[in-house]
Chain A
Amino acid sequence: MSEALGSWFKGFLEQVRIRKRQYLLGALEIVLSALTGFLVAALILYFIGYDPWYIFEIMLTYGFSDLGYLGTRAAPLIMTGLAFSIPLLAGVFNIGGESQLYMGALLGLYVAYVTHNVWLGLIAGFIAGALWGGLIAALRVYRGINEVITAIMLNWTAYYTIIYIILVYLPNPKQSHLSVQIPVSEMISYGETFALAVVGALIAYFILYYTDIGYKIRVSGANPRSAVYAGFSPKTAIMASMLLGGGLAGYGGTLIIAGVTGSIDTTMSTLYGLGFTGIGVGLLGRNHPIGIIFSGLFFAGLIIGGQWVELLTGAPPYVTDTITGIIVIALSMPYAYRLLVNYMGRLGKK
Chain B
Amino acid sequence: MASNEYAVEMRGIVKVYPDGVVALKGVDFLVKRGEIHGLLGENGAGKTTLMRILYGEIKPTRGEIRVFGRRVSFRGPWDAIRQGIGMVYQHFTLVPAFTVKENLYLSLLSVNPKARLGDAVSKADKIAEETGLRIPYDEIVEELPIGVQQRVEIIKALLRDAKILILDEPTSVLTPIEVRDLFKALRKLRDMGITIIFITHKLKEVKEITDRVTVLRKGKLVGTVETGKVDVKTLARMMVQREVVFKIEKKPAKPGEVVLEAKDIHVIDEEGVERVKGISFQLRKGEILGVAGVQGNGQRELAEALAGIRRVSKGRIILGGKDITGYNAYQRYMKGLAYVPDSRGTGLVPDMNLVENTALTNLYRILGWARRIKWDRAVEITSRVIRELEVVAPSLYAPIKHLSGGNQQKIMVGREIVREPDVFIVAEPTQGLDVAATEFIRKTLLRLRDNGKAILLISTDLDEVLQLSDRLAVIYEGQFLAMGRPEEFTIEKLGLIMGGVRE
Contact = CB atoms under 8 A, between A and B. Distances in A.
Contacts of B397: 11, 14-15, 18-19
A143 B19 CA distance: 43
Contact of B367 (A7, A15, A212, A218): A212
B360 A226 contact: yes
Nearest to A7: B376
Interface residues of B, number: 39
Nearest to B340: A229
Given A212-B373, A225-B345, A231 B352 contact: no
Contact of A228 (B309, B356, B370): B309
A233 B330 CA distance: 10
Given A11-B379, A219-B360, A223-B350, A231 B332 contact: yes
Contact of B329 (A17, A210, A223, A231): A231
Contact of A210 (B339, B353, B360, B375): B375
Contacts of A222: 349-352
A1 interface: no
Contacts of A228: 309, 329
A17 to B, nearest CB: 7
Interface in A204-248: 210-213, 215, 218-219, 222-223, 225-226, 228-233
Contacts of A14: 395-397
B331 A210 contact: no
A212 B308 CA distance: 20
Interface in B311-334: 328-333
A4 interface: yes
A229 B342 CA distance: 11
A211 B373 contact: yes
Contacts of B395: 14, 17-18
Contact of B372 (A15, A211, A218, A219): A211
A218 B356 CA distance: 10
B90 to A, nearest CB: 15
Contacts of A17: 395
A15 B399 CA distance: 10
A330 B360 CA distance: 36
Contacts of B360: 219, 226, 229-230
A212 B363 contact: yes
B114 interface: no
Contacts of B372: 210-212
Contacts of A215: 356, 359, 363, 373
Interface string A34-64: 0000000000000000000000000000000
Nearest to A206: B372
B371 A229 contact: no
B111 to A, nearest CB: 25
A219 B363 CA distance: 12
A229 B394 CA distance: 26
Nearest to A230: B360
Interface in A232-291: 232-233
Contacts of B375: 7-8, 11, 210
A213 B371 contact: yes
B348 interface: yes
Nearest to A214: B373
B330 A232 contact: yes
A323 B352 CA distance: 37
Contacts of A230: 329-330, 333, 360-361, 363
Contacts of B331: 231
A229 B347 contact: yes
A91 B389 CA distance: 33
Given A11-B375, A211-B372, A226 B347 contact: yes
Interface string A286-318: 000000000000000000000000000000000
A231 B309 contact: yes
A225 B304 CA distance: 12
B499 interface: no
Nearest to B329: A231
B273 to A, nearest CB: 17
A59 B348 CA distance: 46
Contacts of B330: 230-232
Interface in B349-389: 349-353, 356, 359-361, 363, 367, 370-373, 375-376, 379
A229 B396 contact: no
B398 interface: yes
A122 B345 CA distance: 43
B122 interface: no
- Residue of A222, A228, A230 with highest tally of chain B CB at under 10 A: A230
A5 to B, nearest CB: 11
Contacts of A8: 375
A2 B375 CA distance: 15
B347 A18 contact: no
A8 B352 CA distance: 17
A233 B352 CA distance: 19
B341 interface: yes
Contacts of B345: 223, 225
A306 B244 CA distance: 75
B346 interface: yes
Contacts of A225: 345-346
B371 A226 contact: no
- Residue of B308, B331, B351, B373 with highest tally of chain A CB at under 10 A: B373
Contact of B308 (A7, A11, A15, A231): A231
A210 B359 CA distance: 12
Contacts of A4: 376
Interface string B283-318: 000000000000000000000000111000000000
Given A212-B371, A231-B333, A219 B349 contact: yes
- Residue of B309, B341, B350, B397 with highest tally of chain A CB at under 10 A: B397
Interface string B441-484: 00000000000000000000000000000000000000000000
A225 B353 CA distance: 17
A272 B399 CA distance: 40
A90 to B, nearest CB: 13
Interface in A48-84: none
Contacts of B309: 228-229, 231
A232 B348 CA distance: 14
Contacts of A19: 397, 399
- Residue of B341, B363, B370, B394 with highest tally of chain A CB at under 10 A: B363
Contact of B348 (A210, A213, A226): A226
Nearest to A14: B397
Contacts of B367: 212
B349 A223 contact: yes
A327 to B, nearest CB: 28
11 contacts: A4-B376, A18-B395, A210-B375, A212-B373, A215-B363, A215-B373, A226-B346, A226-B360, A228-B329, A229-B307, A231-B333
Given A215-B373, A223-B350, A226-B348, 7 more contacts: A11-B397, A14-B396, A212-B373, A218-B352, A225-B346, A226-B360, A229-B346
Q: Please provide the 6 A-B residue pairs with the shortest distance between their CB atoms, ordered closest to farther.
A: A231-B329, A231-B330, A212-B371, A18-B395, A223-B349, A225-B346
